[in-house]
Amino acid sequence: MNASGKADGGNFDVVIAGNGVLGLSLAWILARRGQRVAVLGRPARPWAGSTASGAMLGCFGEVTTSLLASEHGRAKLELGIEAGRLWPQWLAELEEVTEGAPVKTARGTTVVLNTIGTAEIDDANYQAIRAELTRYEEPFEDVEPADLDWVDAEPISRPLRAFHIPGEHAVNSAALLERLEAAVVQAGGILVPEFATRVEYRGDRVTGVVLADGRRITAGHVTLAAGARTQELLDSLPVGPRIPRLVSGYGVSALIRTADGTAPDSVVRTPNRSFACGLHVVPRGDGQVYVGATNVISVDPRDTAEMRDLVFLLQCAHRQVRRNLWNSDVTKVQVGNRPVSMDGFPLLGDGGMRGLSVMTGTYRDGLHLSPLLAQDFAARALGEETRADVARFAPVRQPLRTGTREEIVDVLIDHQMGIGYEQDWTIPVEWHQWIEMDLRPGTLAWANGLDPEFTPPPELLFASRFDPELVSILRKYYATCREYS
Ligand SMILES: Cc1cc2nc3c(=O)[nH]c(=O)nc-3n(C[C@H](O)[C@H](O)[C@H](O)COP(=O)(O)OP(=O)(O)OC[C@H]3O[C@@H](n4cnc5c(N)ncnc54)[C@H](O)[C@@H]3O)c2cc1C
């Protein structure tokens, strides 16, 4: 090891491939527990999801009827609830040992039901969020749309109903990552500013990684937390094909300096819609707001924004939330990649080879889950009892199923039609019905032709219609599933 903190090869207890929020959070705990830990990743964090995220610490705000339709979705919600309990202490400790910009940026979350939403998605998800808040005895209060001070939507996009969740906040992801990095180094962890290109193994035991510059790092334990790019590392291992493949949920967000220097106190968001995490505005201090976010399934992670996604996002923000965003300054366009597995659920736990852990596939809420997952994975590496119930998300698995093919197609159609309404499409009145009438059987026939047995989650099925590479990846993956079943 040299003085600049660079590993020149070397031997570690744990090497973590990936310097996003998950890798750094885990490293912080392990380093504090006296482990020799190295975190790999380029400082600019290419393709990261963490840097582009809001970052809402929400699990109730993320509730959808589809999430609640399966036991796996319910289990995911419960992980989110548990993670939410850890954040106050996690942040307090982080802010105690590091200096920098405040991490927490929003007090609470206000969920808005507006006229743009559809009954099938927005009304249903709005009610589902409230029902789960009630079920878990989490406080919330109704807000009169007229009392939503900061909201000034176009009349045809105006809020109809709203409620406030005082316990769901948001953080500044840039400040969080900066402080986590400092905390890791302070605790004795080593940041290696390079990518891993493959994992090395002998028999069924992993022994370390090879870096992009050719150096080798050996370690007793290797944790893969490279977000959507984790797939490349899994491809270097014999166990790789048995783990649901990862694709990217590429998303665009933007930072905006508001024309009048104001920002809301809380997160202002719609329920999840259009295959994405709902339209949301998050205060970022000094008259800045974060506006997010789009979600498009892409085989390869992206690092630039497609014009249509950026235009869509910005239009939604000024039309549905605040009109004077229109003449505010866009200070940064952010592009990130959510790690999305072929069944849409996280890949968490032992990677099917001795010494290998996989910590990814967290999709829309990996940042919120980070303190919980970090504690869980640290306990694994240290041979201690784990606290999070993630067994069902073990990486080596058959795809988790959430419903029948028809149910998945129904959700897809609801969201696809919803995209049209959110984009303010103007077509003769009966055309909506005609389109939907043909879209449903057409999509079902597509799903039948894709695979006789498995159906991907709605957004992957949707994307597969336009992407032959995704079709071939899905088919290959399902063939492998049958081989190992
Ligand atoms: C627009 C957007 C908005 C979001 N909003 C929210 C939100 O409000 N709340 C929430 O909880 N979540 C949100 N998410 C999801 C969240 O960002 C992710 O679930 C989470 O950040 C994943 O963290 P990670 O550390 O696993 O991966 P990442 O953040 O993707 O980090 C992976 C890191 O690994 C590095 N890397 C890649 N390949 C290698 C390699 N071979 N070797 C070493 N390093 C490598 C990358 O450069 C990157 O820095 C959002 C995501 C997006 C894109």
In the numeric block, which tokens belong to residue 131? Answer: 């029902």
What mean pLDDT do residues 322-346 have?
A: 98
Summarised one tens digit per residue, pLDDT across range 50-66 is 999 999 999 999 999 99
- Stretch 313-338: mean pLDDT, rounded? 97
Instruction: Please give all residues whose beta carbon lies within 6 A of any atom in ligand 1, as ranges.
Output: 17-23, 40-42, 45-50, 52-56, 195-196, 225-227, 229, 232-233, 251, 253, 277, 292-293, 336-339, 360, 362-368
Start-end of CATH 3.30.9.10 domains in the chain: 106-170+247-341
Nearest CA to ligand 1 atom 6: 53
How many angstroms does the Cα of residue 182 sit away from the middle of ligand 1? 18
Q: What pTM was estimated for this model as a whole?
A: 0.96
Query: What pLDDT does residue 275 have?
Result: 84
If pLDDT is split at 50, 70 and 90, which confidence band does 141 have? very high
Residue bearing the CA closest to ligand 1, atom 47: 45
145 CA from centroid of ligand 1 (Å): 34
Does CATH number 3.30.9.10 belong to domain 106-170+247-341? yes
Q: To test ligand 1's pocket by mutation, which of 295, 337, 364 has the most ligand atoms within 8 angstroms of CB?
A: 364
Task: For a ligand 1 pocket test, name from 177, 213, 229, 275 the mutation site with the most ligand atoms within 8 angstroms of its C-beta.
Answer: 229
CA distances from 323 to 114, 317, 319, 432 (A): 15, 8, 6, 28
Ligand 1 centroid to Cα of residue 157, in Å, is 31
- 414 Cα–ligand 1 center, Å: 28
Q: Calculate how far, in angstroms, residue 251's C-alpha sits from the geometric centre of ligand 1.
A: 11
The pLDDT assigned to 7 comes to 44
Ligand 1 centroid, distance to 249 Cα (angstroms): 10
Q: For 354-413, write each residue's pLDDT tens digit.
A: 999 999 999 999 999 999 999 999 999 999 999 899 999 999 999 999 999 999 999 999
> Pairing relation of β-strands 11-17 and 37-40?
parallel
Which atom number of ligand 1 is nearest to the Cα of residue 24? 25
Q: Output the pLDDT for position 8.
A: 57
